[in-house]
Chains A and B, each alone.
Chain A
Amino acid sequence: MITQVSDSLYSQLIKTYGGNLPSAEPRSLDEIRKQAFERFKSTGFPTVKNEDWKYTNVQPLISQHYELDAEPSLVAVDLDGANIPQLDAYRVVLVDGKYHAGLSDTVDMPGLSIMPIDQAFERLCFAKYFAEFADKTDNPFVTLNTALFTAGLFIEVGKNTQLSKPIHVIYVSNARQPVFNQVRNLYVISTFAEAEIVESFVTDPQAARSLNNQVTEIVVREGAKFQHYYLQTAASQGSYLNHTEVYQEKHSLYNNYNCTFPGPAFVRNNINVRLGDSEVESHLYGVTLTADNQFVDNHTIVDHIHPHCESYEWYKNITQDTSTAVFNGKIFVRPDAQKTNAFQQNNNMLIGEKSAVYTKPQLEIFADDVKCSHGCTIGQFDNEALFYLRARGISEAQARVLLVHAFAFDVTSRFANTVVREYVEHLVEEGL
């Protein structure tokens, strides 16, 4: 399928990287990149004719011009937007996708490795896991990322290691000219390790437009536990395509808390969780609060492959003004995945009269002894509740805050980290 070869970004990429992909040792990576690039060349960027991109038109993003491999700007970086009050964490900062040692904490904890991904190419687990998961999907942005990424983060939490505090990864857009960033991460949570990673996306107020195509592969090994937070708080000049591919081994736990707030013009998150063995547990929570003309799309896949696994997914969207939110929740229960317990719930509150929500629960169940339930609601402010609160002296604005908090409560109350939870509740309040 050849699509719109006339895209400015597409032709720019082909012209720049045609026979000239980023290269480094080992050779095996070169081969992976080459194949990925060929795949991308044949598919091109997705269009709205593709079911997975039906409501998500990337054409306006890719018809613009970007600097492809911009040198990091040397101007000061404003990180205030990423500060989470009271959060004691190892801080890791990526400026325009590139690891910034000066702004990052030096982590000296046995069993924990954090480094720029290009320094991890020689590692055994890199060879074992890189491009093993995300590239099995048919997301053209993943193949593009595999072919062309030059920066990103490698985190390995060693066997039996329990992190005493979370890792706070901050992605800041800082470039003063329009850039196309491709960040590639690989996180390996080793057997019986426990980790918590909080990822913030922010924009320096001076930054120009940016398009960010990020791919994160995560392996949660046997008996490991991983709490993973996404806090999307970038500004309107930022557009994000963020693909997260999680592979879980036996007895592991993966919790994803995916929060998006007013700001970035365009956000597309793909969060795919493969429950790769039996007795695996996964939780996906999402809070999306949109404003102005924002577009936020969350596509998730929960893939039950083996028996006796449990997944629990709850996404809440609150749309204001003329913004749009998309939710697509796929749950696969493969023929072997007997005794699966899968739950999915998506609730939407349309505040803006001209805002829109597209939601699609998509359950494909091939096993016969399972428990799967899902629900989906679309509603507005409850005027009775609003009047009740106002009749007690609470201002209309404050009453709205209380009601949106209440709406998000099913999700925010599940946050394991109370400091992050308070921060998120504060952002909800600010975003209204």
Chain B
Amino acid sequence: MLSIKNLHASVDDKEILKGLSLEVKAGEVHAIMGPNGSGKSTLGNVLAGREAYEVTEGEILLDGKDLLELSPENRAREGVFLAFQYPVEIPGVSNINFLKTALNEIRAYKGLPPLEAREFLNRVKEKQKLVEFDAKLANRSLNEGFSGGEKKRNEIFQLAMLEPKLGILDETDSGLDIDALRIVARGVNQLRSQENAFIVITHYQRLLEYIVPDFVHVLYKGRIVRSGTKELALELEEKGYDWIKETVDAEKAV
């Protein structure tokens, strides 16, 4: 589904990703771990198309389509969804109006008619239940006054509503207490299918106890330096990122 080859990206002329390659197939969950500053969030932002990130080399294909050619909105319409590490509060834009606009623009892109009001509301109800997100959305502005946990849950709720091919969770676990973490994880697990895939970016192994990944990759200095199964995450947890840093730096020194 997703094929990243030799990706180089920089922010303000500082190279952050230095030749990252990754293959994600439908039905898979990949975890990206790594120490602070290794480029985890950059990967998520580059995939979503944030303008400040400049891709200097490499390619990203989503089902054969060149993502780098597409605007952020067209990437979303093709099925890329980034759950933000820091969801933005937008006072004055209602949650419901925002979701309806997003959903209908994605549908229009696919040549589908807008959802009927009732259909839309049923879907809202159903998905809110799925992610146990019972905040009253109708009269509230987007993320305004939401707690950290509510914001993250709202991201997963949006993911459920928009049904993307590829969901990227950017440190969705940060700032969540254990109950909120379980709820978010349960929501993601219910959304997993053979048609979609997830990239879970996280600093800690904790989230991966709940969202069990098929593959774990360790990002360091802008490249994937280790890949393995979920046991790799446990090993990391036990030995710490210094273990990775030392072994990788040692390999380089040779």
- Chain A contacts to B: CB under 8 angstroms: 382, 384-385, 387-396, 398-399, 402-403, 405-410
Q: Which residues of B contact A409 (CB under 8 A)?
A: 91-92
* Partner of A393 from B90, B97, B105 at Cβ < 8 Å: B105
> What are 12 A-B interface contacts by the 8 Å CB criterion?
A387-B72, A388-B88, A389-B102, A391-B49, A391-B84, A395-B105, A398-B101, A398-B105, A399-B73, A402-B90, A405-B93, A409-B92
B109 touches A387 (CB 8 A): no
Q: Which residue of B lies closest to A396 (CB)?
A: B73
Of residues 75 through 100 on chain B, the ones whose CB sits less than 8 Å from some CB of chain A are 75-77, 81-82, 84, 87-88, 90-93, 97-98
| Contacting residues, chain B, for A382 (C-beta < 8 A) | 88, 90
B92 in complex: contacting residue of A388, A390, A392, A405, CB < 8 Å = A405
For the complex, give the distance between the alpha carbons of A409 and B109 in Å. Answer: 29
Q: Are A391 and B105 in contact (CB under 8 A)?
A: no
Q: Is B156 an interface residue (CB 8 A)?
A: no
Residue among A389, A396, A403, A408 with most chain B CB within 10 A: A389
Total A-B residue contacts, Cβ distance less than 8 Å:
76
Among B50, B102, B141, contact of A392 (Cβ-Cβ < 8 Å): B102
Contacts of A406 in B (CB 8 A): 90-93, 141
Q: Are A402 and B101 in contact (CB under 8 A)?
A: yes
Task: Check A390–B90 contact: CB distance below 8 A.
Answer: no
* Complex-state Cα separation, A403 to B162, whole angstroms: 21
| Total B residues in contact with A, Cβ cutoff 8 Å | 30
Closest residue of chain B to A410, judged by CB? B92
Q: Chain A contacts of B81 at CB under 8 A?
A: 391-392
With A388-B87, A402-B101 as given contacts, are A393 and B73 in contact (CB-CB < 8 Å)?
A: yes
Whole-angstrom distance between the Cβ of B12 and the nearest chain A Cβ? 15
**Residue pair B93, A402 in contact (C-beta under 8 Å):** yes
Contact assessment for B88 and A385 in the assembled complex, using a CB-CB cutoff below 8 Å: yes
Could you tell me the distance between the alpha carbons of A399 and B82 in the complex, rounded to whole angstroms?
17
8 nearest interchain CB pairs?
A406-B92, A409-B92, A393-B76, A390-B72, A392-B102, A393-B106, A388-B88, A390-B73
Q: Which residues of B contact A395 (CB under 8 A)?
A: 73, 105
Q: Is B105 in contact with A394, judged by CB distance below 8 angstroms? A: yes
Extra contacts, 4 of them, besides A394-B102, A398-B101, A402-B98 (Cβ < 8 A), are A382-B88, A391-B49, A403-B90, A409-B91
Of B71, B87, B91, B98, which is within 8 A of A390 by CB? Answer: B71
Query: How distant is the Cα of A98 from the Cα of B162 in the complex, in angstroms?
Result: 56
Partner of A407, one of B73, B77, B88, B92: B92
A393-B76, A406-B91, A406-B93 given as contacts; is B102 within 8 A of A388 (CB)?
Answer: no
A387 touches B51 (CB 8 A): yes
Chain B neighbourhood of A388, CB < 8 A: 84, 87-88, 90
Q: Contacts A387-B50, A407-B92; is A393 near B87 (CB within 8 Å)?
A: no
Q: Closest Cβ of chain A: how far from B169's Cβ, in Å? A: 13
Q: Are A392 and B162 in contact (CB under 8 A)?
A: yes
Query: What separation, in Å, do the CA atoms of A391 and B53 have in the docked complex?
Result: 14
Query: Cβ of A391 and Cβ of B82 under 8 Å apart?
Result: yes
- When the two chains form their complex, are residues A392 and B90 in contact, meaning their CB atoms are under 8 A apart? no
Q: Which of B73, B101, B102 has the most CB of A within 10 A?
A: B73
Does B48 reach chain A (CB closer than 8 Å)? Answer: yes
Give B47-85 as 1s and 0s: 1 = Cβ < 8 Å from A's Cβ atoms: 011110000000000000000000111011100011010
Q: How far is the CB of B239 from chain A (nearest CB, A)?
A: 35
- Across the interface, do B76 and A392 meet the contact criterion of CB distance under 8 Å? yes
Looking at the complex, which one of B51, B98, B141 makes contact with A389 (CB distance below 8 Å)? B98
| Across-interface contacts of B92 in A (CB, < 8 A) | 405-410
Is A385 a contact of B105 with CB atoms below 8 Å?
A: no
- B158 within 8 A of partner (CB): yes
Given contacts A396-B71, A398-B101, contact A391 B90 (CB under 8 A): no
A389 and B89 alpha carbons, distance in the complex (Å): 11
CB atoms of A385 and B49 under 8 A apart: no
Question: Nearest CB to that of B92 among chain A residues?
Answer: A406
| List of A residues within 8 angstroms of B103 by Cβ | 393
Considering the complex, give the chain B residue whose CB is closest to the CB of A387. Answer: B50
Q: For residue A402, which residues in chain B have a CB less than 8 angstroms away from its CB?
A: 90, 93, 97-98, 101
A109 to chain B, nearest CB (A): 36
User: Inside 8 A of A398's CB, which chain B residues have their CB?
Assistant: 101, 105
> Per-residue CB proximity of B165-189 to A under 8 Å, as 1/0?
0000000000000000000000000
